[in-house]
Amino acid sequence: MLTVDFERLGLRPGERVLDMGCGAGRHAFEMYRRGADVIAFDQDADELAGVRDLFGAMKDAGEVPAGAEADVKEGDALQLPFADGEFDRIVAAEVLEHIPADIAAIHEMVRVLRPGGTLAVSVPRWLPEIINWKLSDDYHNVPGGHIRIYTDKELIDKVSKAGMEYDGAGYAHGLHSPYWWIKCAVGVTNDDHPLAKAYHRLLVWEIMKQPRVLKLAGKVLDPVIGKSMVLYFTKPVTTALDAD
């Protein structure tokens, strides 16, 4: 279940890419399949162990092009252990809403991105997210949970002030917003509620079978109630930060 549009990001085989806050690795795996040199970065060692194992399984199964490489790296988003301008593309999917010092994390991503490189940042979209927060405190009051709700204007402003040029936005997972509204209404841990179970089966069907009717429904719903907002940026060849 991908959030980022890699065609829009401009990803090409052989490029060095960073999945910042990779979690279980869904975007890292797709970039590896597309022939990129991938670093999956996270602070969760257990998650990274699983990502490393699947990287190996993908290579053994012949699912990646010859020459593609992938590795994991554990660390802090506020102190990325990479050189200035090391990456051609960076993905930060559903990460910044968890980080108290989000501006510092943004500056670190800009630092390790090469001039001319591109960045995709996705966060929960304001309207679906505010509904979740109003329906349930348990949805966000958990250790490591969501600590803020971004508007598009706020996040564009923060990333632009770090030295990036805004290229546009996309929206994803419109079918998923109602599921989380149901979960928040009946209890976020109440997976056995009939409504939650029924909608979950629908989402599994969408992911596994990709039926045409749900694809069409997603295209209609994504711009309206898409759960995720994806913003795309380019680092200018000369940034305001470089000029200081």
How many CA atoms, within 13 angstroms, populate the side-chain half-sphere of residue 139?
22
Q: Is residue 28 part of a domain?
A: yes
Query: Any idea which residue has 């909608």 for tokens?
Result: 199
Q: Is residue 159 part of a domain?
A: yes
Encode pLDDT of 36-86 as tens digits.
999 999 999 999 999 999 999 999 999 999 999 999 999 999 999 999 999
Q: pTM here?
A: 0.93
Cα 127 to Cα 135: distance, rounded to the nearest angstrom: 13
Q: Which domain holds residue 41?
A: 6-124+143-174+226-238
Nearest to 122 by CA among 99, 145, 100, 94: 94
Which residue ranges of the chain lie beneath pLDDT 50?
239-244
Domain count, the chain: 1
Q: CA triplet 105, 109, 110: central angle to 5 degrees?
A: 115
Q: Is residue 64 part of a domain?
A: yes
Q: CA triplet 19, 22, 27: central angle to 5 degrees?
A: 65
Parallel, antiparallel or unpaired: strands 69-74 and 228-234: unpaired
Helix (H), strand (E), coil (C) string for the chain: CCCCCHHHHCCCCCCEEEEECCCCCHHHHHHHHCCCEEEEEECCHHHHHHHHHHHHHHHHCCCCCCCCEEEEEECCCCCCCCCCCCEEEEEEECCHHHCCCHHHHHHHHHHHEEEEEEEEEEEECHHHHHHHHHHCCCCCCCCCCCCCCCCHHHHHHHHHHCCCEEEEEEEECCCHHHHHHHHHHHCCCCCCCHHHHHHHHHHHHHHHHCCHHHHHHHHHHHHHHCCEEEEEEECCCCCHHHHC
Q: Is residue 16 part of a domain?
A: yes
Q: Is residue 200 part of a domain?
A: no
Encode pLDDT of 170-190 as tens digits.
999 999 999 999 999 999 999
Q: Is residue 19 part of a domain?
A: yes
Q: Is residue 206 part of a domain?
A: no
Q: Domain holding 89: CATH number?
A: 3.40.50.150
Q: Is residue 80 part of a domain?
A: yes
